[in-house]
């Protein structure tokens, strides 16, 4: 045998070994990062302390208690405004590589406008957190907007429905980069705009709770959010990136949409569902414009409904060039899967975003439930959505920025949560090794049980339990915290 043949055989052998080994690998790639996430309104409390201004969630919980399951508010929540040192000790204990948290806009800018003055005690709060994270070798991932718009902006100019928000948000972001950027590795402009536009301005179940212009405002909100995102991305790029060396993007919520049969129609319906949810934002940011299917369907329905033009706003050519490519990675919040079935288009009548999609979605009876009606455990969904994103958007870098499981009460021996993370991580590894999806990080939602928006304190996602009836808000580790700790230490998926 010639030496080159031998080399060839050995190479082939090694190749087969490594690929089969990789296909079953329980080991996370060397640079893979783990984190946990929280959001300001859900954990901080301190709702009017030290000069913080009111935001739309403060107002919403106070004026519409009936819209919150247990009539609760985030006034105190986990009291992280006072207990951030305890929280960071928990992060240290877990051994996370990064902590994802959000800034309360009205805590540092009480009215939302930079020109109205900065609340330096608010700035100090986030500085303290960042310094402590830094001392503990934990990277920071900051969300600029996790749904808590300053109330004054909502009242004075209409918030996300008014295009002037683009500049106002950019000024807030500029300030955040200026004050905090030297210690921030990842910036997120928006958490799940696909949710807050829908639920804030169409279904009205989240703040500000409006449903004034169905099928219109929801798209206007998104349009202004996308422009705001692009403006902030470019600003970071131009002014801060070189010095601060961070990455910046936005986060989208997405289910996996499983076609209910193998028929062409059901596949089309599942694809449409993903395009209207994820593509709505991902397509502009990655490719420059809304998905063709949205543009066509909404125009067609709008005209039939008697509108002069499409209810979906249009980007100019210049805007398309400006928006395209404004991401360094894609943040994906993934929890669950829906079955999707074709239905004939819902007849023209009163407009709505829901009718624009016209698909039927349901859960399979065999799927295990959780403390949240919308969250069914379907671990392979994370692999399917990751693969779909890779194939649809030319293989972007993905970070899973939220994934987690809820209980309806405090359960310290939370076998179900531990199993949820284990099985979702198992399929995430398959996406990495078998499907070669470029996923570089995973974030558990959440560090703590917290204020779960309209569900109040009745749904608990934390790795640590919080007793909300005790004024000192003690944190108690659940078994899942211990499990996560071992994974982070060994970088290995163990059972």
The set of residues, in sequence order, having a beta carbon less than 8 Å from that of 125 and lying 6+ positions away, is 50, 81, 84, 107
Q: Which of residues 43-82 bind ligand GBH (CB under 6 A)?
A: none
Burial class (CB in 10 A: 0-12, 13-18, 19+), 51: middle
Catalytic residues: 192, 402
Query: Cβ–Cβ contacts within 10 Å for residue 491, how many?
Result: 13
Angle between helices 193-201 and 217-235 (to 10 degrees): 150
CB of 258 to ligand GBH, least distance (A): 16
377 binds ligand GBH (CB under 6 A): no
Which of 61, 151, 333, 392 is close enough to bind ligand GBH by CB under 6 A? 333
Q: What angle do CA 222, 428, 412 make, to 5 degrees?
A: 90
Interacting stretch for ligand GBH, rule CB under 6 A, among 190-198, 300-308, 419-427, 433-441? 190-198
Beta 439-445 vs 33-37: how paired, if at all? parallel
DSSP 437: -
Q: Which of 453, 424, 446 is nearest to 100 (CA)?
A: 446
> Binding to ligand GBH by residue 195, rule CB under 6 A?
yes
Q: How far is the CB of 78 from ligand GBH (least distance, A)?
A: 12
Decide: is 463 part of the binding site for ligand GBH (CB under 6 A). Answer: no
Ordered DSSP codes for 266-326: HHHHHHHHHIIIIIHHHHHHHHSS--HHHHHHHHHHHHHHT-SS-SS----HHHHHHHTT-
Which residue lies nearer to ligand GBH by CB, 199 or 302? 199
Find the binding residues for ligand GBH in span 402-431 (CB under 6 A). Answer: 402
Closer residue to ligand GBH in complex, CB, 57/81: 57
Minimum CB distance to ligand GBH, residue 445 (Å): 5
Stretch that binds ligand GBH, among 192-200, 310-318, 342-350, 422-430 (CB under 6 A): 192-200
Give residues 276-295 in contact with ligand GBH (rule: CB under 6 A).
none
Distance, CA of 309 to CA of 437 (rounded, Å) = 39
74-82, 84-92, 163-171, 189-197 -> range binding ligand GBH (CB under 6 A): 189-197
Binding to ligand GBH (CB under 6 A) within 200-259 occurs at: 205, 253
Using the rule CB under 6 A, is 174 a contact of ligand GBH?
no
Torsion, Cα 45 473 146 212, to 10 degrees, reads -70
- Establish if 445 lies at the interface with ligand GBH (CB under 6 A): yes
Counting runs of H as helices and runs of E as strands, what totals does the chain give? 19, 13
Contacts with ligand GBH, residue ranges (CB under 6 A): 39, 42, 191-192, 195, 199, 205, 253, 333, 374, 402, 445, 452, 461
């Amino acid at each position: 045998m010639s030496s080159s043949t031998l080399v060839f055989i050995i190479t082939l052998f090694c190749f087969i070994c490594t690929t089969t080994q990789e296909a079953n690998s329980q080991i996370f790639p060397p640079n893979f990062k783990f984190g946990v996430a929280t959001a300001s309104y859900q954990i901080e409390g301190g709702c009017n302390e030290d000069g913080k201004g009111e935001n739309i969630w403060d107002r919403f919980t106070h004026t519409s208690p009936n819209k919150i399951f247990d009539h609760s508010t985030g006034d105190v929540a986990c009291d992280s405004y006072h207990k951030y040192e305890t929280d960071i000790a928990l992060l240290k204990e877990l051994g996370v590589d990064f902590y994802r948290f959000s800034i309360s806009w009205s805590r540092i800018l009480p009215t939302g406008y930079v020109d109205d003055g900065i609340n330096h005690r608010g700035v100090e709060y986030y500085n303290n957190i960042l310094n402590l994270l830094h001392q503990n070798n934990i990277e920071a991932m900051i969300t600029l907007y996790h749904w808590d718009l300053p109330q004054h902006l909502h009242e004075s100019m209409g918030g996300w429905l008014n295009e002037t928000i683009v500049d106002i948000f950019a000024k807030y972001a500029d300030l955040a980069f200026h004050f905090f950027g030297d210690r921030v590795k990842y910036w997120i402009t928006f958490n799940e705009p696909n949710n807050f536009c829908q639920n804030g301005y169409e279904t009205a179940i989240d703040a500000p709770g409006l449903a004034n212009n169905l099928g219109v405002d929801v798209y206007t909100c998104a349009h202004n959010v996308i422009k705001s995102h692009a403006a902030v991305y470019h600003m970071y790029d131009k002014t801060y990136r070189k010095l601060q060396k961070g990455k910046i993007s936005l986060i989208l919520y997405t289910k996996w949409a499983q076609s209910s049969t193998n028929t062409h129609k059901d596949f089309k319906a599942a694809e449409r569902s993903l395009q209207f949810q994820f593509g709505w934002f991902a397509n502009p940011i990655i490719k420059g414009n809304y998905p063709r299917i949205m543009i066509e369907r909404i125009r067609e329905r709008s005209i039939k409904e008697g509108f002069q033009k499409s209810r979906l706003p249009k980007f100019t050519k210049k805007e398309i060039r400006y928006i395209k490519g404004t991401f360094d990675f894609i943040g994906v919040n993934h929890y669950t899967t829906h079955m999707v079935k074709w239905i004939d288009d819902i007849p023209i009548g009163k407009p709505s975003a829901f009718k624009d999609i016209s698909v039927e979605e349901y859960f399979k009876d065999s799927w295990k439930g959780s403390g949240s009606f919308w969250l069914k455990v379907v671990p392979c969904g994370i692999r399917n959505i990751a693969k779909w994103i890779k194939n649809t958007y030319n293989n972007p870098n993905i970070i899973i920025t939220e994934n987690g499981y809820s209980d309806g009460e405090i359960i310290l021996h939370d076998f179900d949560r531990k199993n949820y993370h284990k099985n979702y991580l198992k399929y995430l590894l398959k996406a990495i090794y078998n499907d070669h999806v470029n996923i570089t990080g995973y974030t558990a939602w959440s560090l703590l049980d917290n204020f779960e928006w309209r569900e109040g304190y009745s749904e608990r996602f934390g790795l640590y339990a919080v007793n909300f009836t005790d004024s000192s808000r003690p944190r108690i580790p659940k078994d899942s915290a211990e499990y996560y700790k071992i994974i982070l230490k060994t970088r290995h998926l163990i059972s």
